Structures are given as C-alpha cells and as structure tokens.
Amino acid sequence: MGTMSKNWFFPILILVVAVVLEFVHAVSPYEPLRRAGTLLVIWGVIIEVKYVLRITGDVVYTETETLAVGKSPRPSSFRDHIQAWMNHAGLIWIILGTAIGGFGDLFHYG
C-alpha cells in the first residue's frame, strides 16, 4: 500500500466505521462521528508534518531521480488542481475532521 493510498484509505475507513457505529444504539451515545473527526485531525497533522519534514530537512527526498529547483508551475487544468490537493491529504483531513468534530453531534442518531 503506497503512501498516497494510505493517506486516504485509513481516514475513509475511520469515517465509514464511525457512521456505522452511529446507528448502533449501545455505542451511539459516545458520538463516534465526533470522535472520528478528532482522529482525522490527528491523522492530518501527522501527514502534513511528515510532508514538511521531508521537504525542509537537510536533504530533500523526492520520488523522482531529478530535482528541479525553482518556481513551481501553476496548475493549469482541473485535473492538475485536484492532483495538487491530493498531495496535501493531511490538510484536507484536518479541515474535514475539524468540521466533523465540531458538527458531528448534529448527525447523532441515538
């Protein structure tokens, strides 16, 4: 399982399990969706910290054999914009986790 898929698979799994647990009456009083939001924020912070440490260390590690230093090109197409956001999965999970953690009680079933 690559880094990209790991950054998306586990948080989506956490969300699916939390939504299912919202409908289990014995567990729903613990508000699993709000707890999942907290886990998503923690997961997102870990992903982004790893990304920042990878690019700001003494040595820059890339998955390519060459490293071009300079101003990065701006995304030109919608697909390029999506790919740019996919590279920052941690930021997406921080934003989504904060929203779910803050408003998760609105979806409370029990």
The model's pLDDT over 64-110, given as tens digits with 9 standing for 90+, comes to 566 556 666 666 788 877 777 777 788 889 999 999 888 877 766 55
What per-residue confidence (pLDDT) applies to 38?
92
Instruction: Say what the alpha-carbon torsion angle 24, 25, 29, 34 is, to the nearest 10 degrees.
Output: 20
Domain ranges for the chain: 3-107
What per-residue confidence (pLDDT) applies to 36?
92
Report pTM.
0.68
